[in-house]
Amino acid sequence: MLEDALINRLTEARIAVIGDVMLDHHVVGRVSRISPEAPVPVLQVQSERSALGGAANVAANIAALGGAVDLIGLVGEDAAAAQLVQLMETAYPTIAPRLVAVKGRPTVTKTRYLGGQHQIVRVDRERVTPMPAEIEEELIEELREALDACALLVISDYAKGVMSDAVLSAALALAKAAGKPSIVDPKRLRLADYRGASILKPNRKELAEAVGLPCETDQEAEAAAQAAIQQSGAAILLTRSEKGMTLYQPQQKPLHLPADAREVFDVSGAGDTAVAGLALGIAAKLSIEQAMRIANAAAGVAVSKLGTAVVTANELAAALRVQGRGAPVAAGRAVSDLEQALALRERWRREGLVVGFANGCFDLLHAGHAALIAQAAQACDRLIVALNADSSVRRLKGPTRPVQPLAARAAVIGAMKGVDLVVSFEDDTPLALIEALLPDVLVKGEDYAEAQVVGGDVVKAHGGRVLLARLTEGQSTSAIVDRARTGA
């Protein structure tokens, strides 16, 4: 398929990324009361995870999509720096870190505390101070060496101190001298500082602040982009949130792609994902339209995930296929065979994500099903739902069931909020799937005792747990079917 061919081209690219490297730390818990000491919520911590952030998140997305990366940036001589390197080594082996350690300067770390899906507070650890000239020279030298083997330069400027005047001007000059295109995710208000870049990728707020013009309507966006082109000399790829993205090039008509129609779950890091997709597409010598399509689809997947997250090649391919049909996509929720499910489960394990597993026939979806799925999703970072195949349903429920075939049931379950992957099984129980996938949380209704939950002993033997979800009274597919047949 065309989409698979595009994805395969991305694996041929190597990209240099320079900018503000960060560690993103997420602490997830449950809030059930207010502290007696102060009017603040009390968070009962349930899980924690760390991810690559800032310029490192751009690199992670490039690696997850199949590309190779040289990552240049600053870290401290601290535990956060060691954790960053360990994350790269274990989850993203195609990232080659070229990190300059600075004594007395902490690795930039953002810790987000979340009560369920809602962020309560963010705590930043950083020190934004000018760098000594010798540190700037080290960064420039690392970039000079990296560019020899790379097809393109990405500058990920988060205004944390790495992209000083000297480093920025040297980076753009090195790329231009080497004949390599450069893409900048800008934070400076003076866009003339980025002169020499090939493409700037601001969002609406950043562009409006930089040029002092509104940026909401199509006409306003074009006027603002033309002002930015005049200042920087670069093409402007404007990310416009629910309006998609538009590329403005000198003396050419704007090129626009609408946003994917999907629920926006969390915009954290979506801009990094868009930059990664665009950079890979250009480095792989795709057309600018194809590169934009990849960037747009990848960003659409990213916003459906909680927290800073990467988009995988499989997720991008699925999004491109549905995008090509002109329909919305439920990112990462397509029915998967066991091989694909195992690969995705292993990636989630390497990324330190808590994986949940729920199963059932889910024949005619009702409020009880929705409540179980919601509780399961709340208990994990990624949720796998396993459906009984049609033959399995017939053995369990009788020859007149299922009412809906597997494909229809999977489409409905896969479109539900919180579901990341749908698989099926032919056996009467999902034991073989559970033994293969080894989820961290196994979810079943509270009408079972924990000892009765199939696969519960397997999950607990590997350090996981069983969750008995609260049931919704009066909800039953069999009862719905009986009422429909009798007219009662």
pLDDT in tens, 371-396: 999 999 988 988 999 999 999 999 99
Q: Which two tokens stand for residue 222?
A: 């074009």
pLDDT grade, residue 211 (50/70/90)?
very high
Mean pLDDT taken over the chain:
87
Q: In this structure, what are the phi and psi dihedrals at residue 425, rounded to the nearest 5 degrees?
A: -145, 140
| Strands of the sheet with 108-115, listed across from one edge | 41-54, 21-34, 108-115, 118-125
Predicted local distance difference test score (pLDDT) of residue 340: 78
Q: Which domains does the chain have, with CATH numbers?
A: 2-324 (3.40.1190.20), 338-486 (3.40.50.620)
33-47, 61-75, 421-435, 468-482 — which is least confidently predicted? 468-482
Mean local confidence (pLDDT), 366-375:
89
- The better pLDDT of the pair 415, 199 is held by 199
With 90 as the cut, is the pLDDT of residue 1 above it? Answer: no
Tokens representing 212?
A: 């002092």
For the segment 343-355, the average pLDDT, to the nearest whole number, is 77
pLDDT of residue 300: 80
Q: Is the pLDDT of residue 261 over 60?
A: no
Closest CA to 313 of 328, 298, 324: 298
Please give the average per-residue pLDDT across 303-308, as a whole number.
66
Catalytic residue check, 157: no
pLDDT tens readout for residues 120-158: 999 999 998 889 999 999 999 999 999 999 999 999 999
Catalytic residue among 272, 363, 420, 440: 272
pLDDT at 328 over 50: no
Edge-first strand listing for the sheet containing 199-200: 95-102, 68-76, 14-19, 152-156, 182-185, 199-200, 235-239, 245-248, 255-257
Between 364 and 463, residue with greater pLDDT: 463
